[in-house]
Amino acid sequence: MSDLHAQTVPYVRESMVPQGEPPATERGAVKWMRENLFSSWFNAILTIIGLAFVAWVLMHIVPWFWNSIWFAGSLTACREIRDATWGAGAPSACFSVITDRWQQLLLGFYPSELYWRPITALVLFGVAVAPVLFTRVPRQLLWFSAIYPVAMVWLLWGGTIWPYLLVLAGFALGVPAYRIGAKAVAPLLGVVAAIAVPILFWVFVLPPLSGALSSALPIGLEAVPSRAMGGFMLSFIIGVSGIALSLPLGILLALGRQSHLIFIHAVSVAFIELMRGVPLIVWLFTASLLLNYFLPPGTTFDLTLRVVIMVTFFASAYMAEVIRGGLAALPRGQYEAADSLGLDYWKAMRLIILPQALKISIPGIVNTFIGLFKDTTLVVFIGLLDPIGLSNAIRATTDWNGIYWELFIFIGALFFICCFAMSRYSMYLEQKLRTDHR
């Protein structure tokens, strides 16, 4: 003890006596188990039953995974290897189907010599989406995000570059159109001009001009038809386009539903109720079968594009209601404070109301995103080759006839990774935007 108190003045203890260890029942795992698993007789019984159930499930699943056969040419070959290795009838997963057909499951029937294009598109997607998701990424990259959709379509579908450049040129024309219209007459006319001029340009100038340029200077990529698109890539294209488009449309619909202008209010309500009240599968059949009858003869309107539009409309109706909930949750005082400072409607919405309403709605918005993303598998019913469609196609071959679980586990894992990522991002965002300090 004497060295312990070497530097100690008589009335203040500077060096402490080491703490004694608490008994085993008050420490670490033992304590935790006593408190959480065996706190009473009833809980102890439940714990034992639960453990038995988990063990039973694992006993059936683990060998199946453990005995997986990863490289075989067909289900029959798989079974032969299994019988030779693990004995006849042993549980064994045949993930060879994934190693054999993963390229199809991911990319459909996209020509294999052109695989670099979807891969590039995916990498660029990461670059384009980063500045939107994270504020720390340099803001200048947003310009790339803006042109990315057009670049992606060109990379995947190919063809000469001219129509794509002219589409971008149409957007660029909107800017001077707005400036001239707004300066000459009124801001509202500027907005109308900014919408009308590009549309007129695309409808009347683009087709002949791009035709002429394409035949004069055929610069571009090899064209890939829509029917070659499939697999997870197709789900991803439909899902991401739907997500990116349904949020702004949903915001407009939610604002429209709150509007005092009777016409806008009625149109918004009718759109929301109609879209939401009819099953998505009906809308998809409408897109694949009926829409062609309504379009002028001779227009070819890509099926993938039609599906994207329908999925967007469907999701935006849900989105509008989610955002309306956020708008309704804001106290009236926020609207009044914005008004009393002289902010006009759009500025009040953009700077005061929507930032708060969207923040409140984040869980609901992401919920809708996740639902939309998983609903893209419904396109299998109109003959598009999404992963489910491809799993049917793969099963239809003699090699893989009769294989179910392995394909569905793979597809399920792909979707789970994407949906889980969205879910985590939404939690991160909520945490980041938290300013109320409750």
Partner 1 sequence: MTATDTAAHAPAPATPRRSAMEVSDEIAIEISDMNKWFGQFHVLRDIDLTVHRGERIVICGPSGSGKSTLIRCINALEEHQKGRIVVDGTELSSDLKNIDKIRSEVGMCFQHFNLFPHLTILENCTLAPIWVRKVPKKEAEATAMHFLEKVKIPDQANKYPGQLSGGQQQRVAIARSLCMRPRIMLFDEPTSALDPEMIKEVLDTMISLAEEGMTMLCVTHEMGFARQVANRVIFMDQGQIVEQNEPEEFFNNPRSDRTKLFLSQILGH
Contact positions vs partner 1 (CB under 8 A): 331, 333-334, 336-337, 339-344, 347, 351-352, 355-356, 359, 433, 435-438
DSSP string, 249-275: HHHHHHHHHH-S-HHHHHHHHHHHHHH
Taking the least distance from each CB to partner 1, the nearer of 14 and 339 is: 339
Tokens of 130: 């980063």
In degrees and rounded to multiples of 5, residue 221 shows phi and psi of -110, 160
Q: How far is the CB of 187 from partner 1 (least distance, A)?
A: 11
Q: How far is the CB of 326 from partner 1 (least distance, A)?
A: 12
Taking the least distance from each CB to partner 1, the nearer of 58 and 184 is: 184
Taking the least distance from each CB to partner 1, the nearer of 319 and 338 is: 338
Taking the least distance from each CB to partner 1, the nearer of 251 and 394 is: 251
Q: How far is the CB of 28 from partner 1 (least distance, A)?
A: 39
Tokens of 47: 């714990």
Determine contact, residues 33/48, Cβ cutoff 8 Å. no
Report the C-alpha gap between 306 and 294 in whole angstroms: 13
Report the C-alpha gap between 334 and 231 in whole angstroms: 47
* 366: amino acid identity, one letter: V
Q: How far is the CB of 429 from partner 1 (least distance, A)?
A: 13
Greatest extent of the chain over all pairs of C-alpha atoms, in Å: 103
Spell 391-426 as b/e; 16+ CB within 10 A means b. bebbbeeebbeebeebbeebbeebbeebbeeeeeeb
Taking the least distance from each CB to partner 1, the nearer of 12 and 332 is: 332
Q: How far is the CB of 340 from partner 1 (least distance, A)?
A: 4
Taking the least distance from each CB to partner 1, the nearer of 287 and 348 is: 348
Contacts made by residues 312-315, CB under 8 angstroms, sequence distance 24+: 312/241, 312/242, 312/245, 312/246, 312/249, 313/249, 313/271, 313/275, 313/283, 314/275, 314/276, 314/280, 314/283, 314/372, 314/375, 315/242, 315/243, 315/246, 315/250, 315/368, 315/369, 315/371, 315/372
Taking the least distance from each CB to partner 1, the nearer of 186 and 266 is: 186
Q: How far is the CB of 339 from partner 1 (least distance, A)?
A: 6
Q: How far is the CB of 191 from partner 1 (least distance, A)?
A: 16
Task: Give the H or E element holding residue 220.
Answer: strand 220-221
- CB neighbours (10 Å) of residue 98? 20
Report the C-alpha gap between 289 and 130 in whole angstroms: 37
Using CA atoms, how far residue 331 sits from 337, 338, 413, in Å, is: 10, 12, 42
Taking the least distance from each CB to partner 1, the nearer of 18 and 333 is: 333
Cα dihedral 105, 108, 113, 118 in deg (nearest 10): -90
Which 8-state DSSP code applies to residue 165? H
Q: How far is the CB of 155 from partner 1 (least distance, A)?
A: 38
- The residues, any chain, with a CB within 8 Å of residue 114's CB and separated by 6 or more, are 158, 222, 224
Taking the least distance from each CB to partner 1, the nearer of 4 and 351 is: 351
Q: How far is the CB of 323 from partner 1 (least distance, A)?
A: 16
Q: How far is the CB of 426 from partner 1 (least distance, A)?
A: 17
- CB neighbours (10 Å) of residue 181? 20
Q: How far is the CB of 347 from partner 1 (least distance, A)?
A: 5
Tokens of 404: 């179910």
Report the C-alpha gap between 197 and 182 in whole angstroms: 14
